[in-house]
Amino acid sequence: MAIAVVLQITTNFVSQAFSILIPVLRDEFAWSPTAIVLAYVLRSIVSAVVSPVAGWVGDRYGARRSLFVAAACYIAGLLLLSTVSQIWQLYLYYGLVLGIAQALFRVNIPTTVAAWFR
């Protein structure tokens, strides 16, 4: 349960703290705020589209495997974000990779915790 709470807090922090990064990315790379926020929008869209698949993956392969894949995607996405130099990289790493991780976490953590308390 503690691991689920930590994972949920961590993924929520990265998601909710995105607005703090907008001025930094704008100043560092001279990107428009609109272009930067598109990465957040892409992450939300990818997460919404992948969520049904994430539920199927959790049912088919179990919580341990699906959450391992989610953690691997999440760690890879954060590490790749440290190498961003072009806007398309932000879209790919934050929008796609972290969007997939978010879907896997947000679908499988609550269902796993709910199953523990049946």
Judge whether residue 56 has pLDDT over 90. Answer: yes
**47: containing domain:** 2-116
Q: How confident is the model at residue 4 (pLDDT cuts 50, 70, 90)?
A: low
What per-residue confidence (pLDDT) applies to 3?
64
Q: What is the pTM of this model?
A: 0.84
Q: What percentage of the chain reaches a pLDDT higher than 70?
A: 88
Q: What is the mean pLDDT of residues 87-112?
A: 93
63 CB-near residues (< 8 Å, 6+ apart): 108, 111, 112, 115
- pLDDT of residue 118 exceeding 80, the answer is no
Three-state secondary-structure class, residue 98? helix
Please determine, for residue 82, whether its predicted confidence score (pLDDT) is greater than 90: yes
The total of structural domains in the chain comes to 1
Which tokens hold the place of 67? 């959450």
